[in-house]
């Protein structure tokens, strides 16, 4: 019998423990897991913030918040040039001249937006029929120039798969912003608390973009070739963004004018909860799928369909189940988070949560097609969504008023998913069986959520 020295056994234990620790670190730091954890933490922080702020501020404040957010979003989308996708995908994405030119264009865009929104603030407030919002709109315009001077490292970090560092930056900014909003809401008891904390958060993010990443400083530059390429890429993105603006904010512009600020606040709270899962679909698609798909396409990988679905299979199943669960348990969620004044939000949440159920399939399909050079699909999908809204929106409103319009909004992602599936099928990039399995997981989530709502609701 061979005897093993005691010293060898002693050395083996630390080696095994060290190996398990390295394996755990590898799993924990995978891009998908980092995105999942960061999005869950961010949503928990936002939910906690919402619970606290609804007890410090009156519902009218959340109506004002929805109006201001819609205006800022509108200006941003009208001028969207697709900087992120352009930088991540471009072959010269590492060259200083290229980055300097894109940074210069981003700064100029932000200055123009701030000046335009500031000058138009009285007219915009009048358009909403709420002239008292003029100073809030004017101050909110500073968001563009504060975020516009940020370093391009926030984009190049995606190209380099620095997902963990980006996620930590955003979580840090969010925690500071939320903490400040609590303090200011307690002291001021009005919307200025939310606006001030938002501006501070934007400033902190821009500052950290220079401090946390190497080679962060850029200088003004104008390379005509790169500018022409940017416009050639951006013309489809801008057109799509304008249509998306009409779709995503059209209901808010209409309801913001027709509803009282209290009622609009209920709708905005429901919308914020419904769109919480979209943080994952956006981050996962843009930070994990798009860089990986773009690299595979540049490298000329065989069987892109198998690679694409292998990358997103498990996250899609789990996400769809969770998104379905939100639909089924919407009344319970509202009851647990808010006091009885906000019960009206439950039906809005249940309807608006349909969109996130289809969002990951839509965003994944969009990144698949964009990464393989089919950029026009973003614009075409937006057109399909606009046609849906132009037909279903008025029909829904005529049949059931505000609720009918909300139903049309909740179902708006479905035509874009179908369009992208058709395009992917033509390019042999679609696996319909897997896509349907993701939707089946969502259906199971709806059933489980409804059962939980029924059982737990009886105990409350």
The pLDDT assigned to 182 comes to: 93
Q: Which of 40-44, 141-145, 456-460 has the highest mean pLDDT?
A: 141-145
* pLDDT band at residue 177 using 50, 70 and 90 as cut-offs: very high
pLDDT over 60 (residue 179): yes
Regarding predicted confidence, which is higher, 424 or 31? 424
Q: What is the mean pLDDT of residues 275-293?
A: 80
* pLDDT band at residue 184 using 50, 70 and 90 as cut-offs: very high
pLDDT over 90 (residue 203): yes
* pLDDT band at residue 239 using 50, 70 and 90 as cut-offs: low
The pLDDT assigned to 1 comes to: 46
CB-based contact 160:216 (threshold 8 Å): no
Note the pLDDT tens digit of each residue in 76-88: 777 666 777 777 7
Q: Which of 191-200, 285-294, 378-387 has the highest mean pLDDT?
A: 191-200
Q: Which residue has the tokens 């990464």?
A: 371
Structure tokens belonging to residue 63? 């109506």
Q: Which of 184-193, 265-274, 379-388 has the highest mean pLDDT?
A: 184-193
List all residues 6 or more positions away from 410 whose beta carbon is below 8 Å from its beta carbon.
351, 352, 353, 354, 355
The pLDDT assigned to 31 comes to: 65
Among residues 446, 449, 410, the alpha carbon closest in space to that of 332 is found at: 449
Give the relative orientation of helices 59-78 and 261-274 as an angle to the nearest 10 degrees: 60
pLDDT over 70 (residue 4): no
Q: Within a 10 A sphere around the Cβ of 447, how many other Cβ atoms?
A: 13
CB-based contact 378:240 (threshold 8 Å): yes
Distance CA 100, CA 108 (A): 12
The pLDDT assigned to 41 comes to: 86
Q: What is the mean pLDDT of residues 409-436?
A: 89
429-434: long-range pairs with CB below 8 Å, 24+: 429/304, 429/305, 429/308, 429/368, 429/369, 429/372, 430/305, 431/305, 431/309, 434/309, 434/313, 434/316
pLDDT over 70 (residue 23): no
Q: Which residue has the tokens 């046609």?
A: 387
Regarding predicted confidence, which is higher, 383 or 193? 193
Among residues 395, 421, 425, the alpha carbon closest in space to that of 408 is found at: 395
The pLDDT assigned to 249 comes to: 61
pLDDT over 80 (residue 317): yes
Q: What is the mean pLDDT of residues 193-209?
A: 91
Q: What is the mean pLDDT of residues 152-170?
A: 79
Note the pLDDT tens digit of each residue in 39-98: 778 878 887 888 888 888 877 777 787 778 878 877 877 766 677 777 777 777 778 888
Mean pLDDT for all residues in the chain: 81
Q: What is the mean pLDDT of residues 279-307?
A: 78
Note the pLDDT tens digit of each residue in 87-127: 777 777 778 888 888 888 888 988 998 999 999 999 988 87
* pLDDT band at residue 334 using 50, 70 and 90 as cut-offs: confident
pLDDT over 70 (residue 213): yes
**Percent of the chain's residues with pLDDT above 90:** 15
pLDDT over 60 (residue 445): yes
pLDDT over 80 (residue 162): no
3-state secondary structure of 5: coil
3-state secondary structure of 344: coil
The pLDDT assigned to 293 comes to: 79
């Amino acid at each position: 019998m061979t005897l093993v020295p005691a010293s060898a056994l002693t050395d083996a234990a630390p080696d095994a423990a060290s190996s398990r620790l390295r394996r755990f670190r590898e799993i924990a730091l995978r891009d998908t897991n980092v995105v999942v954890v960061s999005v869950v933490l961010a949503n928990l922080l936002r939910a906690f913030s919402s619970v606290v702020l609804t007890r410090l501020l009156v519902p009218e404040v959340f109506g004002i918040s929805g109006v201001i957010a819609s205006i800022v979003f509108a200006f941003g989308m009208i001028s969207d040039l697709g900087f992120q996708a352009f930088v991540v995908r471009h072959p010269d994405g590492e060259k200083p001249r290229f980055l300097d030119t894109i940074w210069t264009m981003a700064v100029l865009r932000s200055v123009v937006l701030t000046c335009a929104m500031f000058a138009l603030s009285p007219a915009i407030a009048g358009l909403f029929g709420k002239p008292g919002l003029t100073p809030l709109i004017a101050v909110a315009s500073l968001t563009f120039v504060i975020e516009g001077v940020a370093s391009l490292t926030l984009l190049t970090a995606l190209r380099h798969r620095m997902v963990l560092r980006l996620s930590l930056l955003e979580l840090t900014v969010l925690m500071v912003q939320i903490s400040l909003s609590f303090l200011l809401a307690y002291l001021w008891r009005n919307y200025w608390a939310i606006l001030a904390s938002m501006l501070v958060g934007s400033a902190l993010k821009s500052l950290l973009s220079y401090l946390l990443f190497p080679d962060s400083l850029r200088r003004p530059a104008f390379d005509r070739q790169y500018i022409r390429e940017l416009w050639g890429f951006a013309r489809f993105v801008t057109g799509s963004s304008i249509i998306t603006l009409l779709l995503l904010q059209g209901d808010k512009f209409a309801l913001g004018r027709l509803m009282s600020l209290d009622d609009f606040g209920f709708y905005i709270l429901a919308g914020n909860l419904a769109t919480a899962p979209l943080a994952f679909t956006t981050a996962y698609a843009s930070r994990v799928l798009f860089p990986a798909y773009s690299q595979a396409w540049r490298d000329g990988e065989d069987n892109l369909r198998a690679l694409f679905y292998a990358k997103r299979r498990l996250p899609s199943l789990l996400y769809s189940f969770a998104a379905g669960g939100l639909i089924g348990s919407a009344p319970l969620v509202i009851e647990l988070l808010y006091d009885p004044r906000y019960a009206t939000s439950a039906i809005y949440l249940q309807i608006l949560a349909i969109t996130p159920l289809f969002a990951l399939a839509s965003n994944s399909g969009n990144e698949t097609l964009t990464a393989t050079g089919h950029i026009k699909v973003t614009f075409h999908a937006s057109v399909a969504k606009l046609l849906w809204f132009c037909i279903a929106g008025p029909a829904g409103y005529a049949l059931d008023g505000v609720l009918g319009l909300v139903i049309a909004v909740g179902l708006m992602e479905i035509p874009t998913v179908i369009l992208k599936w058709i395009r992917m099928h033509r390019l042999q990039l679609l696996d319909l069986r897997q896509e349907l399995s993701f939707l089946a997981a969502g259906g199971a989530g709806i059933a489980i959520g409804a059962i939980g709502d029924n059982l737990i609701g009886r105990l409350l």
